[in-house]
A and B are shown apart, each in its own frame.
Chain A
Amino acid sequence: MRATVGLILLAVIGVGVGISLLAIPFGAPKTEIGDYYIENAREDTGATNVVTSVVVGYRAFDTLGEVTVLFVAALGLGAVLATAGGKRGRSGVEPASLILSAGNIFLFPLILLFGAYIFTHGHLTPGGGFQGGAVIASAFLLVYLSSPGKRINESGATLTESVSGLVFVAIGLLGLTYGTHYFLANFLPKGTLNTLFSAGIIPVIYCAIGLKVGSELAGVVDNLMEETE
């Protein structure tokens, strides 16, 4: 019964979507705003990665909102999983194999370095704060899988997260005073194209986002890995 209703509903949705998709040819240029961004992003923001200049340049306020969504989700996860007796240890977990625990010792700093590379070069190469943060959180996930007794320093993670969130907002507010006087205005010098210290506030914001996302996702991993009865 349920499956039949579901299939009928899907068929209706499928026909509707199919008809509307016939009007959108695949592979043809569609938006004028995309052309505008590709043409002008280098002069406007100084970043060579146009996707980055859209995310933290033209639509930086939107990104602030998305970071907030991520923060609220992580907060909600902590609130949902919070138990009255405080956090338990993870003593009952079986120890990991030698390969995993020995590999973790070598891989952990390298993964952290790779994550930091991704978010500091977000304005030059594919990548950015969100991806770099996810890579950093994966390093912590590896620690949790390899050594059952270890946990992240929770107050340290919270501090990193709050400070980087504040840096994002503070840079936005500084844009009201300096430069072109609007929220998240790019008031720092743009520098030469394709160098690390270019694109004004974009690398700074992306570093803040990278640290924030990394510590948030590490906190999510910590909450989910917590031992339950």
Chain B
Amino acid sequence: MSFLHDYVYYIGAFGLVAIGLLIILVKRNLIKLIIGLSILDTGVNMFLISVGYINRGTAPIFSRPGLEPDGMVDPVPQALVLTAIVIGVAILALALALAVRFYKSYGTLDLRKAKELRW
């Protein structure tokens, strides 16, 4: 029980990563691939945030004068994730644009039906 309590965030984060990876490996519809990429991205962000968590920690913001530096969570992973989310949105938009072009030239979103892409 305490194992689950200690690792529930890691398990959740890597559960998302695993789901995203499985979608990318198995599915052949481009939109589903992009959804998988987005889920994978979310899982990685969640993992970074949970690595930075400190038990009973507060947000690293000195919004009131009385706050002490002890017991604040690690700000570095939060700073990394902050930008990673925006980059993730940009990557998502770029992938969707490529999917639009793919649909225009092949008339389908299914990777199997695009003959020239067989490997």
Q: Real complex partners, A and B? A: yes
Is residue A193 contacting chain B, with contact meaning CB distance below 8 A?
yes
State whether A194 touches B63 (Cβ < 8 A): yes
Given A55-B82, A63-B83, decide whether A27 and B60 contact each other with a Cβ distance below 8 A: no
* B100 and A81 contacting across the interface, CB-CB below 8 Å: yes
- Contact of B72 with A38 in the complex, beta carbons under 8 Å: yes
A18 vs B79: C-alpha distance in the bound complex, in angstroms? 25
B83 touches A38 (CB 8 A): no
Nearest residue (CB) in B for A22 is B7
Judging by beta carbons under 8 Å apart, are B90 and A48 in contact?
no
Chain B interface size, as a band, is 35 or more
Determine if A31 is an interface residue (Cβ-Cβ < 8 Å): yes
Main secondary structure of the interface of A (DSSP, over half): helix
Query: How far is A17 from B21 in the complex, measured between Cα atoms in Å?
Result: 14
Verify B63–A125 contact, CB threshold 8 A: yes
The winner among B21, B52, B65, B94 for most chain A CB atoms within 10 A is B94
Residues in A with CB closer than 8 Å to B74 are 29-31, 34
11 examples of A-B residue contacts, CB within 8 angstroms: A6-B22, A10-B21, A17-B14, A34-B52, A37-B75, A50-B61, A51-B60, A74-B93, A81-B97, A134-B86, A224-B100
